[in-house]
């Protein structure tokens, strides 16, 4: 399940409400272009701004779109263990294939606190659990020693590693057998060279075929092809984090004619200068034809699947 291109899906909004038809269309677009798994309700999906009813609606649409085509890994993590257990059990009942559980943000628990949090969540579900380590957002780093300890729990199956330190992947791979997937598009190739099995990708929202091809090439040992794709799209991968995710990726999709780009506060529209930089990168990548303007009238441009 935890391999290849796993798209960290955006959550489309229109007029402050969920845009479920757009979500359905986006899921289909990802699957048509080689995405191996769908990951809704994560950071890129603005999950902290969604209430429980909205979370259920998003998951229902994605599960229906993915049925028989790809697994769905539902983001269920919060900074409260009880709520995380509640969301994880709800995802299990709805039919999710696995749960993505982020380290508790804001609280800054100790390594023992992190262990107990994940142990309690894993013990409350039969779903495979993917740990999610992103210290730049949460303020705490899930250390390899704690991951190795957690790997002894039967249904803790993987970790999304977004510490920005490739050697953490090496240490995890040396110490246990759980899957490691990159949580940073720009480091996917480096982590797969160290034994990672794929990426939970922000860029896959924009270039799903390219990310799928990169992961497939690296998994097959064709590092020359994987490196060629990586180098071609590295400027885009970096530009998608010129401001806080998912601001740039939603803006990119809007510029490509694929959605409104609407964010929920406290996230806000991009600074015009940064949007112009993003538009230039999209133009250079062949994804839009005129910087700062839509590439079409909402139709799916062929280049958008790159």
pLDDT at 296 over 80: no
Q: Are strands 98-102 and 129-133 parallel, antiparallel or unpaired?
A: parallel
For residue 174, what are the contacts with CB-CB under 8 A and spacing of at least 6? none
Q: What is the pLDDT of residue 290?
A: 63
What's the topology of domain 4-225?
TIM Barrel (3.20.20)
Q: What is the pLDDT of residue 33?
A: 98
Q: What is the pLDDT of residues 83-126, one digit of tens each?
A: 999 999 999 999 999 999 999 999 999 999 999 999 999 999 99
pLDDT at 9 over 90: yes
- The residue-averaged pLDDT of 190-200 equals 97
On the question of a cis peptide bond just before residue 266, with omega within 30 degrees of 0, the verdict is yes
pLDDT at 158 over 80: yes
In the set 17, 24, 67, 132, the catalytic residue is: 132
Q: Does residue 105 have an active-site annotation?
A: no
Q: Does residue 160 have an active-site annotation?
A: yes
pLDDT at 300 over 90: no
* Residue 37 · residue 9 · CB < 8 Å: no
pLDDT averaged over every residue in the chain: 94
In the set 24, 87, 126, 160, the catalytic residue is: 160
On the question of a cis peptide bond just before residue 107, with omega within 30 degrees of 0, the verdict is no
The candidate with the shortest Cα–Cα distance to 206, out of 256, 147, 242, 270, is 256
- The residue-averaged pLDDT of 189-205 equals 97
Q: What is the pLDDT of residue 289?
A: 87
Q: What is the pLDDT of residue 237?
A: 98
- The residue-averaged pLDDT of 291-304 equals 37
Q: What is the pLDDT of residue 298?
A: 34
């Amino acid at each position: 399940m935890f391999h290849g291109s796993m798209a960290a899906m955006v959550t489309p909004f229109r007029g402050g409400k969920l845009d479920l038809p757009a979500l359905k269309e986006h899921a289909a677009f990802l699957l048509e272009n080689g995405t191996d798994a769908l990951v809704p309700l994560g950071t890129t999906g603005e999950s902290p701004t969604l209430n429980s009813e909205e979370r259920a609606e998003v998951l229902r649409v994605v599960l229906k779109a993915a049925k028989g085509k790809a697994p769905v890994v539902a983001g269920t993590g919060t900074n409260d263990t009880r709520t995380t257990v509640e969301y994880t059990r709800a995802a299990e009942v709805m039919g999710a294939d696995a749960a993505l559980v982020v380290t508790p943000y804001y609280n800054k628990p100790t390594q023992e606190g992190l262990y107990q949090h994940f142990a309690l969540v894993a013990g409350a579900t039969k779903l495979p659990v993917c740990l999610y380590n992103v210290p730049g957002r949460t303020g705490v780093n899930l250390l390899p020693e704690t991951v190795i300890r957690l790997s002894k729990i039967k249904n803790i199956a993987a970790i999304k590693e977004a510490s920005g330190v490739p050697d953490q992947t090496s240490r995890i791979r040396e110490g246990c057998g759980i899957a490691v997937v990159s949580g940073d598009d720009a480091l996917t190739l480096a982590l797969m060279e160290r034994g990672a099995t794929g990426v939970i990708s922000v860029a896959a929202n924009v270039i799903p075929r390219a990310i799928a091809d990169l992961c497939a090439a690296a998994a097959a040992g064709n590092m020359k092809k994987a490196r060629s794709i990586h180098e071609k799209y590295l400027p885009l991968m970096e530009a998608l984090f010129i401001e806080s995710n998912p601001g740039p990726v939603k803006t990119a999709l809007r510029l490509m004619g694929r959605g409104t780009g609407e964010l929920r506060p406290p996230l806000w529209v991009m600074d015009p200068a940064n949007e112009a930089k993003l538009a230039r990168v999209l133009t250079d990548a062949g994804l839009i034809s005129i910087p700062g303007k839509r590439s079409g009238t909402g139709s799916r441009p062929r280049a958008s699947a790159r």
